[in-house]
A and B are shown apart, each in its own frame.
Chain A
Amino acid sequence: MMLEANHLNVYYGNIHALKDVSFSVGEGEIVALIGANGAGKSTTLKTISGMLRSQTGSISFLGEDISKTESFRMVNKGLAHVPEGRRIFQQMPVMENLEMGAYTSKGDITEGIKEVFRHFPRLEERKKQIAGTLSGGEQQMLAIGRAMMSKPKLLMLDEPSMGLAPILVEEIFEIIRLFHEAGTTILLVEQNAGKALAIANRAYVLESGRIALTGTGAELMQSEAIKKAYLGG
């Protein structure tokens, strides 16, 4: 397994946010974490990337224990995280945002930038524009493009469809599929369970900090419980 998280317990003060969460992501997979608001999806991603610490258990990435690794070292290990709310650098131009995505890479980054522009031609048109003035969809594209600049082995996406118009959601999911085909393993957090299950090889359902269900995307889509709770009947 590329990523293996075992028995994670994460607290915000007195609040027990992740309760004994274990899951794994195999190389070349798209794995989705779905669940309601506050179920612990973002907390899980933050714990993987070292922004939060688990009190127990272990996280191994490519065979190495990363549960104590500082978050700024994750990119170099091949782990990129597009956080909730995109968190692009609002006051920097599009171009500099992409440069920051390749902060740790030593070589020439023009090829990487070309690659991002090939997927997101709209970003090329706006490469000198201050990122804060982009539309929501463009900001999401920039956030994904910025993460791709580090050429990650595992890309973690936190709610890439949040707040986007349906047509943009389609576009973003298409890009995720393309990156996946190009060899990037993907861990996807989504509230849009239908979309996520349709694209995912496997998925985990989080409920109040616990993993309640797991299965292949197709299996979960057929599950009555999932249909009721997340797919609108």
Chain B
Amino acid sequence: MEFLSNLISGLSLGAIYALIALGYTMVYGIAKMLNFAHGDVIMIGAFTVLATVATAGFPWYIGIIASVIVCTVLGVTIEKIAYKPLRKANPLSVLITAIGVSYFLQSVALLIFGSGKQSFPTVIKANPIKLGSLIIQGNSVVTLIITTIIMVVLTLFINKTRLGKAMRAVSEDKDAAELMGISVNRTISLTFAIGSALAAVAGIFYGSTYGFVDPYAGAMPGIKAFVAAVFGGIGSIPGAMLGGILLGIIENLSKAYISTDLADAIVFGVLIVVLIVKPTGLLGKKIREKV
């Protein structure tokens, strides 16, 4: 029973990583860049909830809506201001810019909210579920249900809709996509919008799980979600989902049965092993080309 309970909280943590990893992997797939400021968007999202619900006293759902809007606008703006001018630049310049944006967002949060940990308001009100001796946190259940819905909707969007297909076309061949009448710039904006909206949701779950937020709160989940995306095969959407969930489970079970201190080392160790055995990640695509 204890194992099952650890497994479920691992699953819920993994679902959060998966939401963040989706942002990394979609942006990588479309814009071919690693957006290392993605983790900090989560932190801004969490602070938005804190400011609207705890400080301004709005109801919880207003906090969630505000957070999604702020993150979406933020993500699109970051892309327009910081990354778009570098579309044809050396990938290293883009990477360094992304790290710069990450520190910029942390500094802004530091100026507005101060450096201390602030307790995250309760936005998810769900009672624990008891099944015999098994107790599942209400938080975990809500996280799992919402994340599952988001993943199903996102998968349908990417595979079935006209815009989703256009996104795949851009990710495969930008020039050919433009010749079809697809605007690459608009598609990249859309990708940043979706990724950042998912980050807002992840920020709410992360804040609710750990109960606090500070200006550096996005850094660690950001890095882990990046690992999850690489683990699953960067650029692959099912890969990000699988990678995130596996990472959460491995981390939680390591904490429960091996060592709390070593949990992160084990997580990164597993990544190294996977990349040695399968360099493209679990579901990474092999590049297939016919000339």
Residues of A within 8 A of B (CB): 49, 51, 70-76, 80-81, 83, 85, 87-92, 96, 99-101, 103-104, 132-134, 136, 139, 146, 150, 163
- A163 nearest CB neighbor, chain B only: B291
In the complex the two chains form, is B179's CB within 8 Å of A74's CB?
yes
- New contact pairs (11) apart from A51-B178, A71-B175, A72-B177, CB-CB < 8 Å: A70-B178, A89-B173, A92-B168, A99-B165, A100-B166, A101-B180, A103-B180, A103-B182, A104-B180, A132-B290, A139-B290
Chain B 136-170, CB within 8 Å of chain A: the 1/0 string? Answer: 00000000000000000000000000100110110
Chain B residue numbers with a CB within 8 Å of A101 are: 180
CA distance A72 to B178 in the complex (A): 4
In the complex the two chains form, is B291's CB within 8 Å of A87's CB?
no
Q: A51-B175, A83-B176, A87-B173 are in contact. Are A150 and B168 (CB under 8 A)?
A: no
Q: What are 5 pairs between A and B in contact, CB < 8 Å?
A: A49-B179, A74-B179, A89-B173, A92-B169, A132-B290
In the complex the two chains form, is A100's CB within 8 Å of B169's CB?
yes
Residue from the list A90, A100, A150, A163 in contact with B288, Cβ < 8 A: A90
Q: A70-B183, A72-B182, A103-B182 are in contact. Are A83 and B175 (CB under 8 A)?
A: yes
Residue from the list B175, B181, B184, B288 in contact with A132, Cβ < 8 A: B288
CA distance A157 to B166 in the complex (A): 23
Chain A residue numbers with a CB within 8 Å of B166 are: 100, 103
CA distance A104 to B291 in the complex (A): 28
In the complex the two chains form, is B290's CB within 8 Å of A89's CB?
no
Chain B residue numbers with a CB within 8 Å of A146 are: 180
A69 → chain B, closest Cβ, in Å?
Answer: 12
Say yes or no: is B261 at the interface (Cβ < 8 Å to chain A). Answer: no
From 74 to 114 in chain B, residues with beta carbon under 8 angstroms from any chain A beta carbon are none
In the complex the two chains form, is B181's CB within 8 Å of A89's CB?
no
Q: A89-B173, A96-B165, A103-B162 are in contact. Are A71 and B178 (CB under 8 A)?
A: yes
- A156 nearest CB neighbor, chain B only: B179
Say yes or no: is B289 at the interface (Cβ < 8 Å to chain A). Answer: yes
Q: A51-B175, A100-B166, A101-B180 are in contact. Are A132 and B291 (CB under 8 A)?
A: no
In the complex the two chains form, is A83's CB within 8 Å of B179's CB?
yes
- A81 nearest CB neighbor, chain B only: B179
In the complex the two chains form, is A91's CB within 8 Å of B182's CB?
no
CA distance A71 to B165 in the complex (A): 19
In the complex the two chains form, is A132's CB within 8 Å of B178's CB?
no
B285 → chain A, closest Cβ, in Å?
Answer: 7
Chain B residue numbers with a CB within 8 Å of A71 are: 175, 178-179
Chain B residue numbers with a CB within 8 Å of A90 are: 172, 288-290
Chain B residue numbers with a CB within 8 Å of A103 are: 162, 166, 180-182
- B184 nearest CB neighbor, chain A only: A72
Chain B residue numbers with a CB within 8 Å of A80 are: 179
CA distance A5 to B238 in the complex (A): 47
B287 → chain A, closest Cβ, in Å?
Answer: 9
Chain B residue numbers with a CB within 8 Å of A104 are: 180-181
CA distance A91 to B177 in the complex (A): 13
A140 → chain B, closest Cβ, in Å?
Answer: 12
In the complex the two chains form, is B172's CB within 8 Å of A91's CB?
yes
- A147 nearest CB neighbor, chain B only: B179
CA distance A104 to B184 in the complex (A): 14
